[in-house]
Amino acid sequence: TIIISNIFNHIFRGKKITTYIRKILDFFPSFFGLISSWLILAMILLTAIIVLLRYVFSQGVVAFQEVLIYCHGALFLLCAALALRENAHVRVDIFYRSMTEKTKRIIDLFGHLLFLQPVVWIIFLYSLDYVAFSWSISETSAEPGGLPIVYVYKSILLLFSILLILQS
């Protein structure tokens, strides 16, 4: 263990390894949060295009509507870990807000261990077969003129789970 400790000290130059791990773990929610912020702009533009095509040119484009729905779903799934990190998730805090910081941390710890982690692991495990099957058949939209990449969209479930597991 002394040799391993010396190797880590040499690599990280005396800084705590937890600092580097924390930076790595903080990078992913921030990165996907940034991507999600661009999805909001895409959704605004797509909505404007859909409305323009429908009411001005009397044309409906199913693919545009599906992209809008996919962006909306991806926005929530990819921002969940960032919201958790920033403590911006929805919570009923009638009692929580008046507690001390130490009590809040204890409640958060038990909430993560007893509720969040098990649920996210269940989502991950059930999504594996769901996503794998979708990829195996190269799932496409059931709608005529829909998108041919439904399997890519479904893969976001796995990414969502991994990000939340790591952030938690």
Q: Which residues contact 28 (CB under 8 A, 6 or more apart)?
A: 81, 163, 166, 167
Q: Would you give the DSSP letter of residue 116?
A: I
Give residue 6's pLDDT.
58
How far is Cα of residue 24 from the mean position of the Cα atoms in its chain? Answer: 16
Give residue 143's pLDDT.
86
Burial class (CB in 10 A: 0-12, 13-18, 19+), 80: buried
Q: H/E element holding 94?
A: none
Give residue 11's pLDDT.
56
Q: Which two tokens stand for residue 50?
A: 């859909």
Residues of the chain with pLDDT under 50: 1
- 78-100 pLDDT tens trace: 998 888 888 877 777 777 778 88
